[in-house]
Structure 1
Amino acid sequence: MGVAAGEAILVGTWRLVSYIATDTSQQCVAHPLGAAPRGLLIYTADGHMSAQVAGVGSRTGLKDPAEPGTSLDRPLYVGYGGIYEQHGDQVIHRTVLGSLPEVDRADVTRTVEVKGDTLILRAPSAVREWDEVVLTWRRVRETLLAATAT
């Protein structure tokens, strides 16, 4: 198993820059993992992938932990791994394990946009208060230890 030519642009390690949720009807943006979320996304040349995101926020989506004065519910973590396929501007993560039922042994589809060393993944939100989640990633070019120090 290997990746097709179009998927090669995804191969590598990506660090999470931002995780936002939007409600287009209310024209509002939330930060469900707080103002400084952490995450790693890894795509291998042989078609495997792993995604991990963490932060401090509200699982309900009713509060935005990035807003001053907002109480923080608890640390949050979502992770999954498996294989991936890219079809045009869509990537499908076919998971073999996941930390939540929604991503455990599931097909997790994201819309892909790559701009240089920036990867933007969009998906419909699993939380009804939001329409869409947008995860922005930056390619890791240095060792992982140096990447986590910033």
Structure 2
Amino acid sequence: MPESLRQRLIGAWKLVSYRETPVDGSEPFEPLGHEPQGIIMYTPDGYMSAQLSRPDRPDFASGDWFDGTTEEYTAEATSYIAYSGPFHVDEEKQTLTHSMFVSLFPNWTGQTQPRVVKLEGDTLHLSTESPITSSGKTVNSALTWRRGPPRGRSR
């Protein structure tokens, strides 16, 4: 019997690409740059966590998380995406939802968002099911992830 979609998702995945395509036909863009960093994890007990970042984030001059300048906080918040909570897979429909228990973006806290999911070997493609607003545009988001190596080993 083949593994279920849920079983195939379990584990850690490293971000390969994050691209947004405006629905108005304008040029696609990469909100976290050409080589974004990130990890998404799915646990056997039904939770997920996504952390995405620009690779070139500047340090706070003070070295204190709670003592940054307005500019530092703006740069911090616009270069990082983070949310965690339960996930659900509908095996019959082959669909995935992420429920945001916590989120860096407060508007997402408490939301459940559907994802279009496609698994090809060690590559996971996730995209928004319907357009979202990003950088002032209505876009479809597409993210590609590669399964991370088992802990303690490198690939």
- TM-score range normalised by the length of the shorter chain: 0.7 to 0.9
Kindly indicate whether the alpha-carbon contact (under 8 Å) linking 1:96 and 1:105 is maintained by their aligned counterparts in 2.
yes
Shift of 1:130: 3.7
Residue 129 of structure 1 is matched in structure 2 by: 137
User: Which has a greater percent of strand?
Assistant: 1
The DSSP-based 3-state class of the residue aligned with 2:145 is: strand
User: In 2 relative to 1, CA 143–30 (structure 1 residues): closer, same or farther, beyond 3 Å?
Assistant: same
Question: Matched residue of 2:33: which SS?
Answer: coil
Deviation at 1:7, TM superposition (A): 1.0
Say yes or no: does 1:77 pair with 2:80.
yes
Residue ranges of structure 2 left out of the alignment (5+ in a row):
57-73
Matched, 1:10 2:9: yes
Deviation, structure 1 residue 138? 0.3
1:65 alignment partner in structure 2: none
Post-superposition, which runs of at least 4 consecutive aligned residues in structure 1 deviate over 6 A?
none
CA distance 1:103–1:145, change in 2 (3 Å): farther
Q: What is the rounded CA distance, in whole Å, between the counterparts of 2:97 and 2:40 in structure 1?
A: 14
**Equivalent pair of 2:37/2:55 in contact (CA under 8 Å):** no
Q: CA deviation at 1:83?
A: 0.8
Q: Within 5 Å, give how 1:96-135 maps onto structure 2.
A: 96-123=101-128, 124-127=131-134, 128-135=136-143
Instruction: Give the drift of 1:145.
Output: 8.4
Write out per-residue CA displacement over residues 29-85 of structure 1, whole angstroms, 9 at most, x where no aligned residue: 10010111111000011111111111169xxxxxxxxxxxxxxx8351111111110
Aligned-residue offset at 1:27: 5.0
1:99–1:144 distance in 2 versus 1, CA, 3 Å:
farther
Distance 1:145 1:129 in 2: 41
- 2:91 counterpart of 1:90: no
Residue-pair matches, total: 129
Give the 3-state SS of the residue equivalent to 2:107 in structure 1. Answer: helix
- Structure 1 residues 81, 35: closer, same or farther in 2, change over 3 A? same
C-alpha displacement of 1:144: 7.0
What is the root-mean-square deviation of aligned Cα atoms in Å?
2.4
- Unpaired runs of 5+ residues, structure 1, are 58-72
Match of 1:42 in 2: 41
Task: Tell me, in whole angstroms, the C-alpha distance in 1 between the residues paired with 2:154 and 2:133.
Answer: 33
